[in-house]
Amino acid sequence: MQIYLPIAEVSVNAFLLLGLGGIVGVLSGMFGVGGGFLMTPLLFFIGIPPAVAVATEANQIVASSFSGVLAHLRRRTVDLRMGTVLLAGGLVGAGLGVTVFNYLKSLGQVDLLVKLCYVVFLGVIGSLMFVESLRALRRARAPGGAAPKRRQRNWVHSLPFKMKFRTSGLYISVIPPLIVGLIVGVLAAIMGVGGGFIMVPAMIYILGMPTKVVVGTSLFQIIFVTAFTTLLHATTNFTVDMVLAVLLLVGGVIGAQIGTVIGTRLKAEQLRILLAIMVLAVCGKLALDLLIEPTELYSLGEGGH
Amino acid sequence: MLLRTLALCLAFALPAQGEEVVAELSQTNVSITTNFTGSEILIFGAVKRTAPIPDDSDLHVIITVAGPSEPVTIRRKSRVAGIWVNTAAADIDAAPSFYAVASTGPLEDVLTQTDDLRHKISATRLIRAIDTGDAASELDSFTAALLRIRAEDGLFQQLEGDVRLTDDTLFSAEVSLPANLTEGDYATRVFLTREGQVIDSFDTVIDVRKVGLERFLYNLAHDKPLVYGLMSLAIAIAAGWGAAAFFRYVRG
Protein backbone atom coordinates (compact mmCIF):
# COMPACT_ATOMS: atom_id res chain seq x y z
CA MET A 1 0.00 0.00 0.00
CA GLN A 2 1.59 3.26 -1.17
CA ILE A 3 1.22 6.33 0.98
CA TYR A 4 2.18 9.93 0.20
CA LEU A 5 4.16 11.68 2.95
CA PRO A 6 3.09 15.35 3.28
CA ILE A 7 6.42 16.82 4.42
CA ALA A 8 8.88 14.45 2.74
CA GLU A 9 6.81 14.80 -0.49
CA VAL A 10 7.49 11.24 -1.62
CA SER A 11 5.28 8.19 -1.92
CA VAL A 12 6.44 5.05 -0.10
CA ASN A 13 5.10 1.64 0.87
CA ALA A 14 3.38 1.81 4.27
CA PHE A 15 4.16 -1.83 5.15
CA LEU A 16 7.84 -1.32 4.42
CA LEU A 17 7.89 1.54 6.95
CA LEU A 18 5.98 -0.51 9.55
CA GLY A 19 8.46 -3.36 9.09
CA LEU A 20 11.52 -1.13 9.37
CA GLY A 21 10.06 0.48 12.49
CA GLY A 22 9.42 -2.96 13.97
CA ILE A 23 12.94 -4.29 13.39
CA VAL A 24 14.59 -1.19 14.77
CA GLY A 25 12.13 -1.25 17.70
CA VAL A 26 13.18 -4.81 18.64
CA LEU A 27 16.85 -3.73 18.69
CA SER A 28 15.94 -0.65 20.71
CA GLY A 29 14.20 -2.70 23.39
CA MET A 30 16.98 -5.31 23.51
CA PHE A 31 19.99 -3.04 23.75
CA GLY A 32 18.66 0.27 25.02
CA VAL A 33 19.87 2.04 21.93
CA GLY A 34 17.42 4.33 20.16
CA GLY A 35 18.20 2.66 16.85
CA GLY A 36 18.72 5.98 15.07
CA PHE A 37 22.15 4.96 13.82
CA LEU A 38 20.44 2.13 11.90
CA MET A 39 17.16 3.79 10.96
CA THR A 40 18.50 7.09 9.63
CA PRO A 41 20.69 5.43 6.94
CA LEU A 42 17.82 3.04 6.09
CA LEU A 43 15.47 5.99 5.53
CA PHE A 44 18.05 7.63 3.23
CA PHE A 45 18.19 4.37 1.33
CA ILE A 46 14.42 4.19 0.65
CA GLY A 47 14.47 7.75 -0.70
CA ILE A 48 13.39 9.97 2.21
CA PRO A 49 15.18 13.36 1.98
CA PRO A 50 18.02 13.36 4.58
CA ALA A 51 16.76 16.42 6.49
CA VAL A 52 13.31 14.86 6.92
CA ALA A 53 14.79 11.47 7.81
CA VAL A 54 16.96 12.88 10.62
CA ALA A 55 14.18 15.01 12.13
CA THR A 56 11.45 12.38 11.89
CA GLU A 57 13.72 9.68 13.25
CA ALA A 58 14.19 11.75 16.42
CA ASN A 59 10.42 11.79 16.87
CA GLN A 60 10.18 8.04 16.37
CA ILE A 61 12.94 7.38 18.91
CA VAL A 62 10.88 9.30 21.51
CA ALA A 63 8.06 6.77 21.04
CA SER A 64 10.11 3.58 21.10
CA SER A 65 12.27 4.78 24.03
CA PHE A 66 9.16 5.77 26.01
CA SER A 67 7.59 2.39 25.38
CA GLY A 68 10.84 0.66 26.40
CA VAL A 69 11.44 2.75 29.51
CA LEU A 70 7.96 1.95 30.90
CA ALA A 71 8.80 -1.73 30.86
CA HIS A 72 12.11 -1.01 32.60
CA LEU A 73 10.52 1.31 35.20
CA ARG A 74 8.17 -1.48 36.22
CA ARG A 75 11.11 -3.80 36.75
CA ARG A 76 12.98 -1.02 38.61
CA THR A 77 15.93 -1.14 36.23
CA VAL A 78 16.07 2.62 35.66
CA ASP A 79 18.48 4.71 37.71
CA LEU A 80 16.46 7.94 37.66
CA ARG A 81 19.07 9.93 39.53
CA MET A 82 21.87 8.88 37.20
CA GLY A 83 19.56 9.48 34.22
CA THR A 84 18.87 13.03 35.36
CA VAL A 85 22.59 13.81 35.80
CA LEU A 86 23.32 12.39 32.32
CA LEU A 87 20.42 14.38 30.90
CA ALA A 88 21.71 17.66 32.34
CA GLY A 89 25.00 17.06 30.56
CA GLY A 90 23.17 15.83 27.45
CA LEU A 91 21.03 18.94 26.92
CA VAL A 92 24.05 21.24 27.21
CA GLY A 93 25.95 18.94 24.84
CA ALA A 94 23.10 18.90 22.30
CA GLY A 95 23.04 22.69 22.28
CA LEU A 96 26.81 22.78 21.71
CA GLY A 97 26.52 20.05 19.07
CA VAL A 98 23.96 22.00 17.03
CA THR A 99 26.30 25.01 17.03
CA VAL A 100 29.23 22.87 15.88
CA PHE A 101 27.00 21.24 13.23
CA ASN A 102 25.93 24.58 11.78
CA TYR A 103 29.54 25.75 11.73
CA LEU A 104 30.62 22.63 9.80
CA LYS A 105 27.67 23.09 7.46
CA SER A 106 28.90 26.57 6.59
CA LEU A 107 32.25 25.02 5.63
CA GLY A 108 30.55 22.41 3.38
CA GLN A 109 31.55 18.72 3.67
CA VAL A 110 29.23 18.12 6.61
CA ASP A 111 28.09 14.78 5.09
CA LEU A 112 31.63 13.48 5.02
CA LEU A 113 32.32 14.52 8.60
CA VAL A 114 29.13 12.88 9.81
CA LYS A 115 30.05 9.67 8.01
CA LEU A 116 33.64 9.72 9.31
CA CYS A 117 32.25 10.30 12.82
CA TYR A 118 30.07 7.22 12.40
CA VAL A 119 32.91 5.04 11.09
CA VAL A 120 35.36 6.07 13.82
CA PHE A 121 32.96 5.85 16.77
CA LEU A 122 31.13 2.73 15.66
CA GLY A 123 34.45 1.06 14.83
CA VAL A 124 36.19 1.85 18.11
CA ILE A 125 33.18 1.12 20.34
CA GLY A 126 32.20 -2.00 18.41
CA SER A 127 35.66 -3.55 18.57
CA LEU A 128 36.15 -2.70 22.26
CA MET A 129 32.80 -4.21 23.21
CA PHE A 130 33.33 -7.27 21.02
CA VAL A 131 36.71 -8.11 22.52
CA GLU A 132 35.57 -7.46 26.08
CA SER A 133 32.36 -9.49 25.88
CA LEU A 134 34.13 -12.36 24.12
CA ARG A 135 36.59 -12.49 27.03
CA ALA A 136 33.70 -12.37 29.51
CA LEU A 137 31.90 -15.21 27.70
CA ARG A 138 35.06 -17.39 27.81
CA ARG A 139 35.52 -16.72 31.51
CA ALA A 140 31.90 -17.66 32.21
CA ARG A 141 32.33 -20.95 30.33
CA ALA A 142 35.57 -21.92 32.09
CA PRO A 143 34.86 -24.48 34.85
CA GLY A 144 34.59 -22.86 38.26
CA GLY A 145 35.24 -19.47 36.72
CA ALA A 146 34.50 -16.70 39.15
CA ALA A 147 32.20 -13.87 38.09
CA PRO A 148 34.27 -11.20 36.35
CA LYS A 149 35.16 -8.36 38.65
CA ARG A 150 34.49 -5.42 36.39
CA ARG A 151 34.11 -2.66 38.92
CA GLN A 152 37.53 -1.76 40.17
CA ARG A 153 38.59 1.47 41.81
CA ASN A 154 39.96 3.91 39.24
CA TRP A 155 40.25 7.65 38.68
CA VAL A 156 36.45 7.92 38.62
CA HIS A 157 36.38 7.23 42.35
CA SER A 158 38.88 9.90 43.35
CA LEU A 159 36.89 12.93 42.11
CA PRO A 160 34.93 15.31 44.39
CA PHE A 161 31.11 15.98 44.48
CA LYS A 162 30.23 12.38 45.23
CA MET A 163 26.64 11.26 44.97
CA LYS A 164 24.90 8.05 45.91
CA PHE A 165 23.24 6.20 42.99
CA ARG A 166 21.32 3.53 44.84
CA THR A 167 19.80 1.72 41.85
CA SER A 168 23.22 1.30 40.27
CA GLY A 169 24.86 0.57 43.60
CA LEU A 170 27.42 3.31 43.01
CA TYR A 171 28.87 6.08 45.13
CA ILE A 172 30.78 8.23 42.64
CA SER A 173 31.40 11.83 41.71
CA VAL A 174 28.80 13.56 39.45
CA ILE A 175 31.57 14.89 37.18
CA PRO A 176 32.11 11.72 35.07
CA PRO A 177 28.36 11.20 34.30
CA LEU A 178 28.00 14.91 33.46
CA ILE A 179 30.95 14.70 31.05
CA VAL A 180 29.65 11.46 29.51
CA GLY A 181 26.23 13.11 29.01
CA LEU A 182 27.84 16.19 27.50
CA ILE A 183 30.01 14.28 25.00
CA VAL A 184 27.10 12.04 24.01
CA GLY A 185 24.92 15.13 23.54
CA VAL A 186 27.45 16.77 21.22
CA LEU A 187 27.94 13.61 19.16
CA ALA A 188 24.21 12.92 19.07
CA ALA A 189 23.47 16.34 17.63
CA ILE A 190 26.24 16.07 15.03
CA MET A 191 25.40 12.52 14.00
CA GLY A 192 21.62 12.99 14.19
CA VAL A 193 20.96 10.06 16.54
CA GLY A 194 19.91 9.49 20.15
CA GLY A 195 23.42 8.43 21.10
CA GLY A 196 22.55 5.27 23.01
CA PHE A 197 25.20 3.23 21.20
CA ILE A 198 27.85 5.57 22.63
CA MET A 199 26.24 6.02 26.04
CA VAL A 200 25.61 2.33 26.80
CA PRO A 201 29.30 1.33 26.59
CA ALA A 202 30.35 4.54 28.38
CA MET A 203 28.03 3.71 31.28
CA ILE A 204 29.35 0.15 31.51
CA TYR A 205 33.04 0.76 31.04
CA ILE A 206 33.61 4.28 32.39
CA LEU A 207 30.95 4.64 35.11
CA GLY A 208 30.94 0.93 35.98
CA MET A 209 27.13 0.62 36.07
CA PRO A 210 25.52 -2.86 36.03
CA THR A 211 24.39 -3.82 32.49
CA LYS A 212 20.74 -4.41 33.52
CA VAL A 213 20.39 -0.82 34.80
CA VAL A 214 22.28 0.69 31.87
CA VAL A 215 19.61 -0.09 29.26
CA GLY A 216 16.69 1.49 31.13
CA THR A 217 18.70 4.52 32.20
CA SER A 218 19.98 5.12 28.68
CA LEU A 219 16.39 4.96 27.32
CA PHE A 220 15.26 7.43 29.98
CA GLN A 221 17.89 9.97 28.95
CA ILE A 222 17.29 9.43 25.22
CA ILE A 223 13.57 10.31 25.49
CA PHE A 224 14.35 13.83 26.63
CA VAL A 225 17.27 14.49 24.30
CA THR A 226 15.33 13.31 21.22
CA ALA A 227 12.17 15.18 22.27
CA PHE A 228 14.29 18.34 22.47
CA THR A 229 15.79 17.60 19.03
CA THR A 230 12.34 16.95 17.50
CA LEU A 231 11.02 20.31 18.71
CA LEU A 232 14.16 22.05 17.44
CA HIS A 233 13.77 20.51 13.97
CA ALA A 234 10.00 21.12 13.85
CA THR A 235 10.31 24.81 14.71
CA THR A 236 13.42 25.71 12.70
CA ASN A 237 13.51 23.42 9.64
CA PHE A 238 9.87 22.20 9.38
CA THR A 239 11.21 18.75 8.57
CA VAL A 240 9.28 16.49 10.98
CA ASP A 241 6.92 14.31 8.90
CA MET A 242 4.07 13.20 11.15
CA VAL A 243 2.72 10.55 8.77
CA LEU A 244 6.18 8.99 8.41
CA ALA A 245 6.70 9.18 12.18
CA VAL A 246 3.36 7.49 12.96
CA LEU A 247 4.07 4.60 10.58
CA LEU A 248 7.58 4.11 11.98
CA LEU A 249 6.50 4.37 15.60
CA VAL A 250 3.57 1.97 15.33
CA GLY A 251 6.06 -0.67 14.21
CA GLY A 252 8.66 0.69 16.62
CA VAL A 253 6.69 0.60 19.88
CA ILE A 254 5.51 -2.97 19.26
CA GLY A 255 9.05 -4.01 18.37
CA ALA A 256 10.43 -2.32 21.50
CA GLN A 257 8.14 -4.39 23.74
CA ILE A 258 9.20 -7.62 22.04
CA GLY A 259 12.83 -6.54 22.26
CA THR A 260 12.61 -5.86 25.99
CA VAL A 261 11.31 -9.41 26.56
CA ILE A 262 14.12 -10.91 24.46
CA GLY A 263 16.63 -8.73 26.29
CA THR A 264 15.66 -10.06 29.73
CA ARG A 265 16.07 -13.67 28.52
CA LEU A 266 19.64 -13.18 27.29
CA LYS A 267 22.77 -13.01 29.41
CA ALA A 268 24.45 -9.62 29.70
CA GLU A 269 27.55 -10.87 27.85
CA GLN A 270 25.48 -12.27 25.00
CA LEU A 271 23.56 -9.02 24.78
CA ARG A 272 26.77 -7.03 24.55
CA ILE A 273 28.37 -9.27 21.94
CA LEU A 274 25.26 -9.00 19.73
CA LEU A 275 25.24 -5.21 20.04
CA ALA A 276 28.98 -5.16 19.22
CA ILE A 277 28.45 -7.26 16.06
CA MET A 278 25.62 -4.98 14.93
CA VAL A 279 27.64 -1.82 15.55
CA LEU A 280 30.60 -3.29 13.61
CA ALA A 281 28.32 -4.29 10.70
CA VAL A 282 26.96 -0.75 10.29
CA CYS A 283 30.49 0.63 10.62
CA GLY A 284 31.74 -1.74 7.90
CA LYS A 285 28.93 -0.77 5.54
CA LEU A 286 29.61 2.96 5.98
CA ALA A 287 33.36 2.46 5.59
CA LEU A 288 32.82 0.53 2.34
CA ASP A 289 30.61 3.34 1.01
CA LEU A 290 33.50 5.74 1.54
CA LEU A 291 36.14 3.43 0.05
CA ILE A 292 34.40 1.89 -2.98
CA GLU A 293 33.86 4.04 -6.06
CA PRO A 294 30.17 5.01 -6.12
CA THR A 295 28.18 4.15 -9.28
CA GLU A 296 26.90 7.74 -9.45
CA LEU A 297 29.64 10.27 -8.74
CA TYR A 298 27.18 13.16 -8.76
CA SER A 299 24.57 13.97 -6.16
CA LEU A 300 21.86 16.60 -5.92
CA GLY A 301 21.31 18.89 -2.98
CA GLU A 302 19.17 21.85 -2.14
CA GLY A 303 20.44 24.96 -3.80
CA GLY A 304 22.71 27.62 -2.37
CA HIS A 305 25.11 25.22 -0.60
CA MET B 1 20.68 43.61 -28.80
CA LEU B 2 17.34 45.17 -27.97
CA LEU B 3 16.70 45.95 -31.62
CA ARG B 4 17.56 42.43 -32.66
CA THR B 5 15.21 40.94 -30.08
CA LEU B 6 12.48 43.25 -31.25
CA ALA B 7 13.05 42.23 -34.84
CA LEU B 8 12.92 38.56 -33.87
CA CYS B 9 9.70 39.10 -31.98
CA LEU B 10 8.10 40.85 -34.91
CA ALA B 11 9.18 38.13 -37.30
CA PHE B 12 7.81 35.52 -34.94
CA ALA B 13 4.50 37.26 -34.45
CA LEU B 14 3.60 36.95 -38.13
CA PRO B 15 1.39 33.90 -38.74
CA ALA B 16 3.54 32.44 -41.51
CA GLN B 17 1.40 29.44 -42.36
CA GLY B 18 -2.00 30.38 -40.93
CA GLU B 19 -2.03 27.34 -38.64
CA GLU B 20 -3.12 27.61 -35.02
CA VAL B 21 -3.06 25.12 -32.18
CA VAL B 22 -6.07 24.36 -29.97
CA ALA B 23 -5.38 22.08 -27.02
CA GLU B 24 -7.10 20.63 -23.98
CA LEU B 25 -5.98 18.58 -20.95
CA SER B 26 -7.76 15.57 -19.45
CA GLN B 27 -7.34 17.29 -16.08
CA THR B 28 -5.99 20.66 -15.00
CA ASN B 29 -6.09 19.88 -11.27
CA VAL B 30 -4.05 17.16 -9.61
CA SER B 31 -4.92 16.48 -5.97
CA ILE B 32 -2.22 14.94 -3.82
CA THR B 33 -4.05 12.77 -1.32
CA THR B 34 -2.63 10.31 1.21
CA ASN B 35 -2.84 7.44 -1.29
CA PHE B 36 -1.49 9.47 -4.23
CA THR B 37 0.55 7.22 -6.50
CA GLY B 38 1.03 9.52 -9.47
CA SER B 39 -1.26 10.78 -12.21
CA GLU B 40 -1.62 10.27 -15.94
CA ILE B 41 -2.43 13.43 -17.91
CA LEU B 42 -3.75 13.25 -21.45
CA ILE B 43 -2.94 16.30 -23.55
CA PHE B 44 -4.86 16.48 -26.82
CA GLY B 45 -5.90 19.01 -29.42
CA ALA B 46 -6.19 19.98 -33.05
CA VAL B 47 -4.65 22.31 -35.62
CA LYS B 48 -7.01 25.07 -36.77
CA ARG B 49 -6.52 26.24 -40.38
CA THR B 50 -7.91 28.89 -42.70
CA ALA B 51 -6.03 27.50 -45.72
CA PRO B 52 -5.46 23.98 -47.10
CA ILE B 53 -2.74 21.86 -45.44
CA PRO B 54 0.64 22.93 -46.88
CA ASP B 55 2.36 19.90 -48.38
CA ASP B 56 5.83 21.36 -48.80
CA SER B 57 6.90 20.47 -45.23
CA ASP B 58 6.02 18.14 -42.33
CA LEU B 59 4.03 19.36 -39.36
CA HIS B 60 5.37 18.45 -35.91
CA VAL B 61 4.03 18.85 -32.38
CA ILE B 62 6.08 19.31 -29.21
CA ILE B 63 4.49 19.19 -25.76
CA THR B 64 6.32 20.19 -22.56
CA VAL B 65 5.24 20.01 -18.91
CA ALA B 66 7.44 21.78 -16.33
CA GLY B 67 7.10 21.69 -12.54
CA PRO B 68 7.92 24.64 -10.28
CA SER B 69 11.56 25.74 -10.46
CA GLU B 70 13.92 25.55 -7.52
CA PRO B 71 17.65 26.11 -6.97
CA VAL B 72 19.80 22.97 -7.06
CA THR B 73 23.37 22.24 -6.04
CA ILE B 74 25.05 19.41 -7.93
CA ARG B 75 28.10 17.87 -6.24
CA ARG B 76 30.73 15.57 -7.68
CA LYS B 77 32.81 13.09 -5.74
CA SER B 78 36.41 12.15 -6.35
CA ARG B 79 38.94 10.06 -4.47
CA VAL B 80 40.95 11.93 -1.85
CA ALA B 81 43.38 9.95 0.32
CA GLY B 82 41.54 6.73 -0.43
CA ILE B 83 37.99 7.85 0.32
CA TRP B 84 35.31 9.32 -1.92
CA VAL B 85 34.63 12.94 -1.08
CA ASN B 86 32.55 15.73 -2.66
CA THR B 87 35.23 17.85 -4.28
CA ALA B 88 33.38 19.90 -6.88
CA ALA B 89 29.99 21.58 -6.98
CA ALA B 90 27.87 23.58 -9.38
CA ASP B 91 24.95 25.79 -8.40
CA ILE B 92 21.94 26.12 -10.64
CA ASP B 93 19.70 29.08 -9.87
CA ALA B 94 16.51 27.40 -10.92
CA ALA B 95 15.78 24.03 -12.47
CA PRO B 96 12.26 22.62 -12.83
CA SER B 97 11.46 19.96 -10.24
CA PHE B 98 9.77 18.01 -13.03
CA TYR B 99 10.16 18.22 -16.80
CA ALA B 100 8.67 16.18 -19.61
CA VAL B 101 9.20 16.83 -23.33
CA ALA B 102 7.04 14.83 -25.75
CA SER B 103 7.34 15.25 -29.51
CA THR B 104 6.33 13.63 -32.79
CA GLY B 105 9.95 12.90 -33.63
CA PRO B 106 13.53 13.32 -32.39
CA LEU B 107 13.90 16.88 -31.06
CA GLU B 108 16.91 17.73 -33.24
CA ASP B 109 14.82 16.90 -36.34
CA VAL B 110 11.67 18.80 -35.41
CA LEU B 111 13.24 21.87 -33.84
CA THR B 112 16.08 24.17 -34.90
CA GLN B 113 18.75 25.31 -32.43
CA THR B 114 17.61 28.92 -32.66
CA ASP B 115 13.97 28.14 -31.91
CA ASP B 116 15.02 25.82 -29.10
CA LEU B 117 17.06 28.66 -27.63
CA ARG B 118 14.22 31.12 -28.06
CA HIS B 119 11.50 28.97 -26.49
CA LYS B 120 13.71 26.99 -24.08
CA ILE B 121 12.22 23.66 -25.06
CA SER B 122 14.91 20.98 -24.64
CA ALA B 123 15.89 20.27 -21.04
CA THR B 124 19.54 21.27 -21.47
CA ARG B 125 18.48 24.64 -22.89
CA LEU B 126 15.99 25.15 -20.10
CA ILE B 127 18.62 24.58 -17.41
CA ARG B 128 21.51 26.23 -19.21
CA ALA B 129 19.45 29.33 -19.92
CA ILE B 130 19.02 30.10 -16.26
CA ASP B 131 22.26 29.03 -14.60
CA THR B 132 24.80 31.35 -13.04
CA GLY B 133 27.06 31.04 -16.08
CA ASP B 134 30.40 30.37 -14.36
CA ALA B 135 32.75 27.46 -15.11
CA ALA B 136 31.02 26.97 -18.45
CA SER B 137 33.21 24.11 -19.68
CA GLU B 138 32.59 21.95 -16.60
CA LEU B 139 28.91 22.82 -16.40
CA ASP B 140 27.85 20.44 -19.19
CA SER B 141 28.82 17.36 -17.20
CA PHE B 142 26.99 18.70 -14.14
CA THR B 143 23.74 19.44 -16.00
CA ALA B 144 24.00 16.03 -17.70
CA ALA B 145 24.27 14.45 -14.23
CA LEU B 146 21.26 16.44 -13.02
CA LEU B 147 19.16 15.16 -15.94
CA ARG B 148 20.44 11.58 -15.47
CA ILE B 149 19.55 11.51 -11.77
CA ARG B 150 16.16 13.16 -12.35
CA ALA B 151 15.41 10.74 -15.22
CA GLU B 152 16.02 7.78 -12.89
CA ASP B 153 13.39 9.15 -10.49
CA GLY B 154 10.92 9.73 -13.34
CA LEU B 155 11.22 13.49 -12.82
CA PHE B 156 12.73 14.09 -16.25
CA GLN B 157 11.08 12.44 -19.23
CA GLN B 158 12.18 12.66 -22.83
CA LEU B 159 9.30 11.19 -24.85
CA GLU B 160 10.50 11.51 -28.45
CA GLY B 161 7.92 10.08 -30.86
CA ASP B 162 5.25 9.80 -28.16
CA VAL B 163 2.97 12.49 -29.59
CA ARG B 164 0.46 10.91 -31.98
CA LEU B 165 -0.48 13.12 -34.94
CA THR B 166 -3.45 12.06 -37.10
CA ASP B 167 -3.97 13.54 -40.58
CA ASP B 168 -1.78 16.54 -39.66
CA THR B 169 -4.73 17.76 -37.60
CA LEU B 170 -5.44 15.82 -34.40
CA PHE B 171 -2.75 15.18 -31.84
CA SER B 172 -2.53 13.61 -28.38
CA ALA B 173 0.08 12.54 -25.83
CA GLU B 174 0.16 11.15 -22.32
CA VAL B 175 2.49 12.45 -19.61
CA SER B 176 2.66 10.50 -16.37
CA LEU B 177 3.32 12.57 -13.26
CA PRO B 178 5.20 10.38 -10.75
CA ALA B 179 4.25 9.91 -7.09
CA ASN B 180 7.20 11.93 -5.78
CA LEU B 181 5.69 15.18 -7.01
CA THR B 182 6.28 18.68 -5.67
CA GLU B 183 3.26 20.90 -5.24
CA GLY B 184 2.83 23.92 -7.51
CA ASP B 185 1.90 25.17 -10.97
CA TYR B 186 2.96 22.84 -13.79
CA ALA B 187 3.36 24.96 -16.91
CA THR B 188 2.18 23.05 -19.95
CA ARG B 189 3.12 24.20 -23.46
CA VAL B 190 2.20 22.90 -26.91
CA PHE B 191 4.28 23.94 -29.95
CA LEU B 192 3.56 23.45 -33.67
CA THR B 193 6.67 23.36 -35.82
CA ARG B 194 7.39 23.27 -39.54
CA GLU B 195 10.97 22.90 -40.85
CA GLY B 196 12.14 23.15 -37.27
CA GLN B 197 10.53 26.54 -36.70
CA VAL B 198 7.79 27.19 -34.17
CA ILE B 199 4.70 28.44 -35.99
CA ASP B 200 2.27 28.53 -33.07
CA SER B 201 2.11 27.70 -29.40
CA PHE B 202 -0.39 27.20 -26.59
CA ASP B 203 0.14 27.68 -22.82
CA THR B 204 -1.81 26.35 -19.89
CA VAL B 205 -1.21 25.31 -16.30
CA ILE B 206 -1.80 22.10 -14.36
CA ASP B 207 -2.51 22.91 -10.74
CA VAL B 208 -0.90 20.31 -8.45
CA ARG B 209 -2.06 20.69 -4.82
CA LYS B 210 -2.08 18.72 -1.61
CA VAL B 211 -5.60 18.18 -0.24
CA GLY B 212 -7.25 16.81 2.91
CA LEU B 213 -4.95 15.44 5.61
CA GLU B 214 -1.87 16.21 3.52
CA ARG B 215 -2.89 19.87 3.23
CA PHE B 216 -3.77 20.10 6.93
CA LEU B 217 -0.48 18.63 8.16
CA TYR B 218 1.63 20.63 5.72
CA ASN B 219 -0.05 23.91 6.71
CA LEU B 220 0.16 23.15 10.41
CA ALA B 221 3.86 22.26 10.15
CA HIS B 222 4.61 25.59 8.48
CA ASP B 223 2.13 27.94 10.18
CA LYS B 224 2.22 26.63 13.76
CA PRO B 225 5.48 24.68 14.01
CA LEU B 226 5.51 24.59 17.82
CA VAL B 227 1.98 23.16 17.97
CA TYR B 228 2.92 20.68 15.25
CA GLY B 229 6.10 19.64 17.08
CA LEU B 230 4.28 19.20 20.40
CA MET B 231 1.55 17.24 18.62
CA SER B 232 4.20 14.93 17.13
CA LEU B 233 5.67 14.37 20.58
CA ALA B 234 2.23 13.76 22.11
CA ILE B 235 1.49 11.13 19.45
CA ALA B 236 4.88 9.51 20.06
CA ILE B 237 4.39 9.35 23.84
CA ALA B 238 0.79 8.14 23.53
CA ALA B 239 1.87 5.41 21.11
CA GLY B 240 4.74 4.37 23.38
CA TRP B 241 2.49 4.26 26.43
CA GLY B 242 -0.31 2.50 24.52
CA ALA B 243 1.99 -0.25 23.32
CA ALA B 244 3.44 -0.76 26.81
CA ALA B 245 -0.05 -0.95 28.37
CA PHE B 246 -1.29 -3.29 25.65
CA PHE B 247 1.60 -5.70 26.06
CA ARG B 248 1.22 -5.74 29.84
CA TYR B 249 -2.45 -6.58 29.34
CA VAL B 250 -1.66 -9.35 26.84
CA ARG B 251 0.88 -10.92 29.20
CA GLY B 252 -1.70 -10.78 31.99
Residue A145 has pLDDT above 50, yes or no: no
Domain count, chain B: 2
Same domain, B203 and B108: yes
Cβ contact, residue pair B236, A62, below 8 Å: yes
Q: Are residues B227 and B125 in the same domain?
A: no
Rounded CA separation B113/B121 (Å): 10
How far apart, in whole angstroms, are the C-alpha atoms of residue A244 and residue A49?
12
Which helix (H) or strand (E) segment holds residue A164: the answer is strand A162-165
One domain for residues B24 and B94: yes
Q: If phi over 0 gives left and psi between -120 and 50 gives alpha, with beta otherwise, what is residue A99?
A: alpha
Residues B163, B41 share a domain: yes
Q: Write out chain B residues lying below 8 Å of A265, CB-based.
A: none
Compute the distance between CA of residue B12 and CA of residue A67 in angstroms, rounded to an integer.
69
State the nearest Cα–Cα gap between B4 and chain A, in angstroms. 34
Cβ–Cβ < 8 Å for B157, B43: no
Q: Show the CA angle centred on residue A68, arms to residues A65 and A74, nearest 5°.
A: 135
B203 and B245 together in one domain: no
Q: Given B37, B235, B240, which is nearest A64 (Cβ)? A: B240
pLDDT score at A81: 87
pLDDT at A4 over 70: yes
Give mean pLDDT, residues B210-214: 84
Q: Which residues of chain B neighbour A231 with C-beta distances below 8 Å? A: 226, 229-230, 233
* Chain A stretch 252-271, residues whose beta carbon is closer than 8 A to a beta carbon of chain B: 253-254, 256-257
Alpha-carbon gap, residue B175 to B64, rounded angstroms:
9
pLDDT at A304: 47
Identify the band that residue B188 occupies on the pLDDT scale cut at 50, 70 and 90: very high
Distance from CA of A63 to the nearest CA of B (A): 4
Cα separation, A248 vs A62, whole angstroms: 11
CA neighbor of A158 nearest in space, from A178, A174, A179, A173: A173
Confidence of residue A148 (pLDDT cuts 50, 70, 90): very low
Residues of chain A with C-beta less than 8 angstroms from the C-beta of B74: 298-301
Across the interface, whether the CB atoms of A9 and B183 are under 8 A apart is answered yes
Please give the angle made by the CA atoms of B239, A26 and A193, to the nearest 5 degrees: 75
C-beta separation of B59 from B37 below 8 A: no
B138 against B234, higher pLDDT: B234
CATH number at B79 reads 2.60.40.3880
pLDDT for B63 equals: 92
pTM of the model: 0.73
Residue A146 has pLDDT above 50, yes or no: no
pLDDT digits (tens, 9 = 90+) for B111-150: 888 888 888 888 877 776 544 445 556 777 888 888 888 8
* Residue B2 counted as domain residue: no
Cβ–Cβ below 8 Å for A6 and B222: no
Sign of CA dihedral A93, A97, A99, A103: positive
| Beta bridge partner(s), residue A214 | none
pLDDT (tens digit per residue) in A211-259: 888 888 888 888 888 888 888 878 877 888 888 988 888 888 888 778 8
- How does the average pLDDT of chain B come out, rounded? 82
Residue-level pLDDT at B65: 92
For residue B237, what are the domain limits?
211-252
B171/B223 same-domain check: no
Instruction: Judge: B181–A59 Cβ closer than 8 Å, yes or no.
Output: no
pLDDT recorded at residue A138 = 82
pLDDT over threshold 80, residue B10:
no
Instruction: Search chain B and give the residue with CA nearest A287.
Output: B83
- Strands B83-96 vs B69-80: parallel, antiparallel or unpaired: antiparallel
Rounded to an integer, the average pLDDT of B229-235 is: 90
